[in-house]
Amino acid sequence: MIKPPHLKNKDLVAIVAPSSRPARPSDLRRAVAIIESMGLRARPGKNIFKTHGFSAGTDQERLSDLVEAFTDDEVRAVWSITGGYGALPLLPHLPYESIKKNPKLVIGFDDFSHLSLAVHVKTGLVTLHGPNLDKVNNKETFERVKRSLTHSEYEPLQTTDAVLGDFGFPAVEGLGKGKLIAANLTALVSLFGTEFEPDLGGAVLVLDDYKERNDILDRWFNTLYLSGKMSSLAALALGCFDACDSRGAFNMLSFEELAMDRLIEMGLPSCFNLPSGNGAGTVLALGVEVSLDSLAGRLTYLESVLSK
């Protein structure tokens, strides 16, 4: 496992859009301002506002920005500005050997989860499942993400506040320990059968998703179950499934209800609504040893996340 160094004052952060483009120019200006407010420097990719279908330029244009960011020794972090779709076909062409030789922070979620998982699998680098820049939209998220990028130790992640809209509760009570894999559910299942598929054996898995129908989520969750990979987990937490609902589907069950039966059947230590994914404003580190107490709804890091 390779732990990238945490960011220091005036470090350079590359802003990339490997999936969709930002909605408007102010999104990029705000992203630059966010990074500079953290005491860092920002360099946007040249092709961020290109348009090709629903993506930020052609595959080659989006890949060009990524390769430049990963191979430039001055860049200390690669941060996605938005999600959408488009990262998946870029994975075979990333400069994995360069990433190994010059490890840097890699942060984003939603569709960027494809890239975070692939880089972690191919290089052993600890990558960060955390907000894209367009989701750093309040002071609390800003401070939490800044601390995650500039400190080597991470605080526990927990939700027990009944005032929160997504109140955490256990599906199956228990304690699991293992390496952390955090991912968008759709992205994770998309990598099954490829060279970028993560090893889930003994892992603590945290899943989230965004703007997906419940019946589609149920399909991906059952694929995970039927693959047999879920039975090898140490524990499972389901995070924020923001803007996910039953629209256009005949089944009106919530995703919690659809997943609950499988988790109880397996007796897998698991909980709902751990703060992860869109709307949570938290950062999770892939590959680091953690423990998950499903009754308390608490994820605790058992080692440092980043190097000094």
Q: What percent of the chain has pLDDT over 90?
A: 87
Question: Do residue 161 and residue 294 come from a single domain?
Answer: yes
- Domain final residue, candidates 150, 169, 191: 150
Question: b/e for 247-274, b at 16 or more Cβ within 10 A?
Answer: eeeeeeeebeebbbebbeebebbbbbbb
Q: Is residue 239 in a domain?
A: yes
Tens digit of each residue's pLDDT (9 = 90 or more) over 102-145: 999 999 999 999 999 999 999 999 999 999 999 999 999 999 99
Indicate whether 30 and 137 sit together in one domain. yes
For strand 175-184 and strand 289-293, is the pairing parallel, antiparallel, or unpaired? antiparallel
**Domain coverage including residue 29:** 12-150
Helices (H) and strands (E) in the chain, counts: 8, 14
| Residue 219: CATH number of its domain | 3.50.30.60
Q: What is the pLDDT of residues 264-279, one digit of tens each?
A: 999 999 999 999 998 7
Range in 72-81, 163-172, 228-237 the model is least confident about: 163-172
Maximum separation of any 2 CA atoms in the chain, in Å: 53
Say if residues 80 and 108 touch (Cβ distance below 8 Å).
yes
pLDDT average, residue stretch 2-14: 98
In this predicted structure, the answer to whether residue 87 has a pLDDT above a threshold of 80 is yes
The pLDDT, as a whole number, for residue 138 is 95
> Cβ distance 106 to 132 under 8 Å?
no
Query: In this structure, what CATH number is given to the domain that contains residue 146?
Result: 3.40.50.10740
Same domain for 127 and 16:
yes
Q: Classify residue 60: in a domain, yes or no.
A: yes
Q: Which tens digit of pLDDT belongs to each residue from 21-38?
A: 999 999 999 999 999 999
DSSP 29-81: HHHHHHHHHTT-EEEE-TTTT--BTTBSS-HHHHHHHHHHHHH-TTEEEEEE-
pLDDT at 161 over 70: no
Total tally of structural domains belonging to the chain: 2
Q: Are residues 179 and 263 in the same domain?
A: yes
Residue tagged 């892939």 (tokens): 286
The answer on 183 and 135 residing in a single domain is no
Neighbour tally for 53: CB within 10 Å: 9
Does one domain contain both 143 and 164? no
Q: Is residue 3 part of a domain?
A: no
- Whether 31 contacts 15, CB under 8 Å: yes
For the beta sheet containing 235-242, the strands, ordered from the edge strand earlier in sequence to the opposite edge, are 157-158, 298-301, 289-293, 175-184, 204-210, 235-242, 270-272, 169-172
Residue 186 shares a structural domain with residue 261: yes
CB burial class (10 A; 0-12, 13-18, 19+) of residue 193? exposed
Same domain, 84 and 121: yes
**Quick one: tokens of 159?**
């939700």
Phi/psi at 37 (5° precision):
-70, -20
**8 A C-beta contact, residue 206 and residue 239:** yes
Closest alpha carbon to 284 in 189, 184, 216, 187: 184
Place of tokens 């705000």: 30
